[in-house]
Structure 1
Amino acid sequence: MDKLDIDEIPGARADLLCFLVATLAASHSLTYEWRVDHLVESGRIWLARNLIRMHWLDRVLLGQLALKIAKRELKDAGIAVRQSDVQALFTGEMTLNHASTVVQKMMKLCKESL
């Protein structure tokens, strides 16, 4: 099956950004480190799961934006991810849990950042 470009799918870029932000925030709340390796692998996983391709430079730029949002803008927006919140951010299949109010707030912030 051929992969579609990320910009051919409405909302895909915002969904990937939010997934990366949630992954970074979750990882930080558990390890107290900003793990760039988790960011890179999470991006690869999301793209493969959704059968989407994205130019490597766009992935780098989106990853940098995700790190900026996770490090600075979540706190400024009043979004805190505690260890007890981590499981609620994701479904059992490790996709975003769009029913979570924290994910909804993150998605709004991500859409505004694009």
Structure 2
Amino acid sequence: MRIHEMSLLPDARGELLCYLFATEAATYALTSDWRVDFIMISCRSWLSRNWLSLQWLDRVCLGQLVLQIARRDLRGVGIALKRADVQGLFTSDMKLNPASTVVQQMLQVCRHALQEHRFGWGWQ
């Protein structure tokens, strides 16, 4: 199959942002450090798994948005992620776990963040 570069549909944008938010929150819970490099790796992984791609600048801007909402909103919406909670965020094949109430909360935060931010990016 061929990877397509295209604007992501709203549901895909929310899912990608939530996936990155969850991986960054999990990383922070495990290491007590915000890791921009891990956001970029996770972004490429999600895009590849979904046969999509984004320009590098769009991925960098998306990473900055993830850090912004993670630092600002993680505790503000009552998400206090502990090491023991990390595994529940993902399925065995590293997709978001839709049954997780924390993932559901994160998805709401991400959808709200996408509505707040208007960018001229190819993914928005």
Deviation (angstroms), 1:78:
1.1
Structure 1 position 75 matched with structure 2 position 95: no
For 2:89 and 2:45, how far apart are their aligned partners in 1?
16
Question: Do 1:29 and 1:82's aligned partners in 2 also have CA atoms closer than 8 Å?
Answer: yes
For 2:67 and 2:23, how far apart are their aligned partners in 1?
10
For 1:33 and 1:8, how far apart are their aligned partners in 2?
29
Question: Do 1:6 and 1:13's aligned partners in 2 also have CA atoms closer than 8 Å?
Answer: no
Deviation (angstroms), 1:10:
4.2
Aligned length: 114
For 2:104 and 2:98, how far apart are their aligned partners in 1?
6
Bigger share in helix: 1
TM-score by length of 1: 0.93
Paired residues for 1:43-54 under 5 Å: 43-54=43-54
Partner of 1:42: 42
Q: Which runs of 4+ in 1 moved over 6 A?
A: none
Higher relative contact order (CA 8 A, sep 6+): 2
Q: Which has the larger displacement, 66-75 or 82-91?
A: 66-75
Q: Percent identity?
A: 52
Structure 1: 5+ residue stretches without partners: none
Alpha-carbon distance change, 40 to 109 in structure 1, aligned in 2, over 3 angstroms = same
Deviation (angstroms), 1:6:
4.9
Partner of 1:23: 23
Question: Do 1:24 and 1:34's aligned partners in 2 also have CA atoms closer than 8 Å?
Answer: yes
1:2-50 Cα shifts (integer Å, max 9, x gaps): 2234524441111110011100100011011111111111111111111
For 1:4 and 1:109, how far apart are their aligned partners in 2?
27
RMSD: 1.3
Alpha-carbon distance change, 13 to 5 in structure 1, aligned in 2, over 3 angstroms = farther
Structure 1 position 65 matched with structure 2 position 76: no
For 1:6 and 1:96, how far apart are their aligned partners in 2?
22
1:70-113 Cα shifts (integer Å, max 9, x gaps): 11211111111111110000000001001100000000110010
